[in-house]
Structure 1
Amino acid sequence: MSQQLNPHPKSLPQNEGVISNQNRSSSLPVEEGAGGRGKNSRTVLNVEKLRIHYATPQGDVIAVSDISFNLYEGETLGLVGESGCGKSTTAYGILQLVQPPGYIVNGSIEVDGTEVLNLDEEELRKFRWTGLSLIPQGAMNSLNPTMRVKDQIIDVIESHEGKQKDREALRERIFSLFQNVGLPNRIYNMYPHELSGGMKQRVCIAMAVALNPTVVIADEATSALDVVVQRIVAQTLISVKDDIGVSLIVIGHDMGLLAQIVDRIAVMYAGKMVEIAPVENVYAKPLHPYTQLLIDSIPSIKERKPLKITEGITHDPRNPPSGCIFRLRCPFAWQHCAEVEPPQIMMDDLHEVACHLYDEHFAERRANALATIANS
């Protein structure tokens, strides 16, 4: 194997330490997976060839590179990857909230038959919160510190439905939202600084679902919270999704937590979607080398084992390598990986992977590559 393709060849990753359905924590309700929510389910979000750049004086940085995926009705999709891989940029691209110097180069974003990229500013304003809504990262900085909780939720409702004449009905509506997210009615007249971090995050969840949107995107909703509060917020997301019937995208980097709340997982690396599959498949049989490395990074309290790191070198995002985006760090890379970008290969129902190792046309190359690695 060429040292230029991969300066750190190593043996085939095994499934040691991979979380199975039997040893996943029972402290959170575990979803049964995508199951019947496949091709026969209604697609509520369809993203095709979405590409987002950030302009810099030295050239454009490719943040999201032609990713495509679907979200099905009633489904929870987890979007994972290391920091800087494009998860949050993808979310803001779907919501048309990418700020300069970022810009959408091309793509299609369709929500319930509405092409989001074709909407003007006023149409987008109306569509946000009703068609698409966001639970932002860092609730501490998301709420207006000068407004009471009730006024912030009322602002969301009245900006779309107009002035509400029946104030008592509006109050009861807000109390119902509080009940959905596990908040006491006493916070109605409170200011954000009077709430804990977990309560602020649940206020953001209440605002996100106030107008019964089709799709809710939770961007690192459990970050900057302690472990106990993370669990509470995760349980709230599950409960709200089931009660209201929204479809949910949960963005995060905690593979262990996401495993317990999502139906499918999409793995991103350097702006590319490298694998997407039902959560059980990802943890029991990860296909892409990067997915395996992510799972190997999950700490275990049951066994002591060396910390596994992703070796190799990262590329300049302004000048990505030819062929496979992961080849500079991949233990299986061969010459073909440098020449051709791997397509999304459908392995079975709902399990896709972008890796030449699983292309049936290169079965012999795959066998030779694995043999070379085994003997190195």
Structure 2
Amino acid sequence: MFHLAIKDMRFSKVKYGLIAFILFLIASLVLIVSGLASGLSAQNIAMLTESEATSFFVRSDSENQLDQSGFLIEDLIEEIPTEQGWQPLVTHPVRFIHDGYVNEKLGVTMVPVNADTLLYPGTIEGEDLINSSGLNIVVDQTMKSDGVELNDTLYDEETDLTFTVIGFTENQTYRHTPVVYVTEEAFYAEEISPNRVANGLVVFEDNTTLQDDISNFLDEGEWVDKAEVIDAVPGHSSEQMSLNMMIFFLIVISAFVLAAFFYIITIQKLKQFGILKAIGAKNTFLVGTTLMQVVILAVFSLSLSVLFTYSMTFILPEGMPFDFNLITIMIYSLLMFAVSLLGALLSSRRIVKVDPQQAMGGTE
């Protein structure tokens, strides 16, 4: 079976080469779009997905959106200290002017944190916020693509404050902007936010007693799971739905294209199949040979498309949101492989129905 499949493919190199090339192009497009979808998703919600928080306390009328939620928490902190296991989450939008780039403003989300808590992700480069004083900040490494380096200064016109970059963190973006971490002491001492206001409250492990105490004190809010907050991020669901719909249609199109190609090839080889049947070849052998060809073509083309998609991570501009997620890539590759086999199976009916006598008569 394998040898017959290989011999047939060698005899018709151009025909099978075109099929492999088309499958490679379609698969590459599917994988690249999936990488862009993952990248856009990460850029929108990475701060939330990477957070160790398990539950969020948001306003009941906010539809689980942090930007629409807000609490005055001065009295809450006195009544229930954060040492009991909760932390306030503030997402404060800022537009920085980078030194040397006066005409270009960098949009970021500033998050004040206690650096000793799980709300702070730590650094991968430079100094840490722990034991830091003054207007020092740790920024997401995506700001490197904007020319930001260690010890650079970022100026905020609205507050007339200048911040110094002391470190970089990773996978900390929110609503397509990099997250900037500053100490709570500096954030409130400089009156960046005049009142002790939080968009939400977070806990890092389920604590029913603590959560009930907070709910009773701030009766205008409710506790929701992390997944509900992520789904409520503006644009996240619709953005992912649009890209996933595009991927779905690409896969459906590939199924029809491959089915059409193999149907045409099967029609062209009906006489050969009939002759093989006449000399004793069984339907299972002939169908198996066709499927073997599909397996060879699919494995070859999909392997190339995975390598090509991986190479795109080095070619695409640094600021482009592209995420080569191996698990997602493998899922879509297996799906494309299954679609290829399905396309070939649709043409196998003609092989089974071939009449050996007609095939022999057609060769006379």
Q: Give your verdict on TM over 0.5.
A: no
TM-score by length of 1: 0.22
Higher relative contact order (CA 8 A, sep 6+): 2
Q: TM-score, normalised by structure 2?
A: 0.23
Structure having the higher Rg: 2
Q: Which structure has greater helix proportion?
A: 2
